[in-house]
Structure 1
Amino acid sequence: MKVSTLETAELIKLVDNTYRDVTFAFSNEIARLCNAMEISAVEVARAGKLGYPRTNLPLPGPVGGPCLEKDPHILIEAASAFGVDMPITAAGRRINETQPIEVAEFLGRLANSMQGFPRQPTISLMGLAFKGRPATDDLRGTMAKPVFDELRTRFPNARWRGFDAVVTPEDIRSFGLEPAPSMAEAVSGANLAVILNNHPVFTSMPLPDLADRMDRPGVIYDFWNNFNSRDVDLPDGTAYVALGSHGAARFAHVA
């Protein structure tokens, strides 16, 4: 599409990516509220737009990648050169950038509250590419990195594994994780498994089967709500927690 100037073309790119970033940030802000209210952000998003096309709240989740992590900052910096402040843009980026800290703090508190959670847990990070659909091996700007950094401060003695359906074992190892050849092996014997993107592989195995492979106590934390955990019977000693429903988490006799 032809536009009038190079500046217009560049601004269109920055605006489009920033719009997505701010929209996702609003969804993540609603997820914060739903965590506190002990209701499901996924139910709010899906039911709220059923038959109502003007509302299209996306599901909450990590926001990164080679464009969305930087273009809002570029837009803010460019606007400041013209004497324009962009507080909405800045607030949205701040929400998305602080999400890893908030989730790591939650998981640290959860582990401390669980009787028998080991001092040297095995933790698996699954879905390291910055997005899962469409599938990619692109690690640029992936939110798995800040999540990993924050978790390491809360679990300094943990043993770490990594799994991704597309990313090579060499890249997983360079990430600082021991590669697992399959999702099943990634969760086997783990105390905490963190799903970081929405690659279709994560729904290829039923949630109870995934949880059954874990050590006890075992927690699956799902940033992308890949599973519908309602009315799912989990093995004793395991739990499933998804972003935006911390208070409504599915626990199965976890002390």
Structure 2
Amino acid sequence: MEYKELINIIKNKEAKVAVVGLGYVGLPMAAIVASRGYFTTGVDINPDIVNKVNNKKSPINEPGLEEIVYKTVEAGKLKATVEASEIRNSNVVLIIVQTPVDENKEPRLEALMSAAKAVAENLSEGTLVVVESTIPPGTTRNEILPVLESSGLKAGKDFFLANSPERAIPTKTLEEIQINSRVVGGIDERSAELAGVFYENITSGDVYKDAVEVVEVVKLIENTFRDVNIALANDVALLCEAIGIDAIKAINLANKHPRVNFHMPGAGVGGHCIPKDPYFLIKEAEKHGVNLSVIKAARERNSDMPFHVLETLESALKKQGKDIKKSKVAVLGIAYKGNVDDVRETPAEPIIKTLMKSGVDVFSHDPYVSQDFGGKFSNEIKTVIKNADALVIVTDHDEYKKLNFEDLRLLMKDKAIILDGRRILNPEDIKRLGFTYCGIGC
């Protein structure tokens, strides 16, 4: 298919689209693309995911997603398959798979390269391939392009290649796919133009085009900015704890300034992006002899916050004459953020595992997930809190903001401690009920 014909069928929503990877972003993207009128095929190696989608169900807990999956599958616009050969019939291919880091914080691109190989083996002439996965700088041109050209087709001539990193967060994925601005980078001008036209049909936000290497860096510095900002807030919180003032009050007042926008401190940073993306920059910089000292320090501070929670907990129990190893600790929140079921890189994991390793009686709760990291777990909050010496809030679920602590006080032991790792409670209200209140930053 020629460039002009491809751009026309994309504009007119006549193009067939394949989405490789039906995870937290891939499936919402496939559903939105299908809802826009494109015939869309989701490709995933997990048959359970494929079967659920084809049965008009969403395997992902994302507000509104199951409704769109139902409607688009019912309308014949969306289907799922484990067969990569289905890619061969597509005019546009989106690659949206996870790109984690290993224990040494090195990028792990096995899933991405496997997906690229599957695309290469089924690549048709005149296809636009877009990588939406977050990737280290230079990956599209230096890693993905050669794999795709192993098909015998030439990039920029026989097929087109671009990068446009996803920029959505859980609980708002559908909304943000459709309204956020988009950055698009092509290996050449025509690739960027084609990808730009496609995303203009997906989002109401602006679409910005630039070199592929620039766009790869954009997503990384966006999340690194957030990581550094949170680390600064955590530094402020630790200082405020030491000098006896409330960091949240100070931060809220500082944010009244028109050029200041502090994030909030907390028990740790989790999720699939912020704890990982800075390392893509750090490792790339090391290849060029550049030390990203600020970014490294921010990662270290945020990674240490779960252990600061543990130190605060042990100290508070000791002040009440209690040995942490002989105490029952209730942990509220397993998910990495409020109102989601995503446990990737959650700060709850090192908190729970460290307590268990120390022999502490730890009991965890979460209304959205049942991951216990090997410990005791219940979805019934009263069971978790009963006879607890301390309650640690790790996740800011709305349910926890509405807890009746007057009732919970009757279930917990005397001299009970509330450790608010997300600052979602009013300290004075908690103290008034007879609890010892500890919060990050106060």
Q: TM-score range by the shorter chain?
A: 0.7 to 0.9
Residue equivalent to 1:250? none
Q: TM-score, normalising length from structure 1? A: 0.85
Contact in 2 for aligned 1:121/1:157 (Cα 8 Å): no
Corresponding position: 1:165 with 2:362: no
Contact in 1 for aligned 2:334/2:348 (Cα 8 Å): yes
Residue equivalent to 2:65? none
Q: Equivalents in 2 of 1:44, 1:118: separation in Å?
A: 31
AA in 2 matched with 1:239: T
Pick closer, same or farther for the CA change 1:73–1:211 going to 2, 3 Å: farther
SS at match of 1:220: strand
1:111 shift after superposition: 1.6
Corresponding position: 1:137 with 2:334: no
- Taking only aligned residues, the RMSD between alpha carbons, in angstroms, comes to 1.9
Q: Equivalents in 1 of 2:383, 2:432: separation in Å?
A: 19
AA in 1 matched with 2:224: T
Contact in 1 for aligned 2:316/2:417 (Cα 8 Å): no
Larger radius of gyration: 2
Deviation per CA, 1:132-175: give whole Å up to 9, x if none.
1xx2111111111122233345xx3322211011003xx23xx1
Contact in 2 for aligned 1:218/1:239 (Cα 8 Å): yes
Query: Pick from 37, 53, 58: which aligns with 2:258?
Result: 53
1:26 shift after superposition: 0.2
Corresponding position: 1:216 with 2:418: no
AA in 2 matched with 1:240: Y
AA in 2 matched with 1:242: G
Pick closer, same or farther for the CA change 1:185–1:47 going to 2, 3 Å: farther
Pick closer, same or farther for the CA change 1:229–1:68 going to 2, 3 Å: same
Residue equivalent to 2:221? 15
Query: Pick from 136, 148, 152: which aligns with 2:352?
Result: 148
Higher mean Cα deviation, 86-95 or 184-193? 184-193
Higher mean Cα deviation, 192-201 or 108-117? 108-117
SS at match of 1:80: helix
AA in 2 matched with 1:101: F
Corresponding position: 1:191 with 2:389: yes
Gaps of 5+ in 1: 246-255
Q: Equivalents in 2 of 1:219, 1:198: separation in Å?
A: 18
Corresponding position: 1:114 with 2:320: yes
AA in 1 matched with 2:220: L
1:115 shift after superposition: 2.4
Pick closer, same or farther for the CA change 1:32–1:78 going to 2, 3 Å: same
AA in 2 matched with 1:11: V
Higher mean Cα deviation, 111-120 or 85-94? 111-120
1:116 shift after superposition: 4.8
Percent identity, aligned pairs only, is 29
Aligned pairs, how many?
A: 235
Q: Equivalents in 1 of 2:352, 2:307: separation in Å?
A: 10
Higher mean Cα deviation, 211-220 or 31-40? 211-220
Residue equivalent to 1:95? 301
Corresponding position: 1:243 with 2:440: yes
Higher mean Cα deviation, 177-186 or 89-98? 177-186
Q: Equivalents in 1 of 2:429, 2:362: separation in Å?
A: 31
Pick closer, same or farther for the CA change 1:73–1:118 going to 2, 3 Å: closer
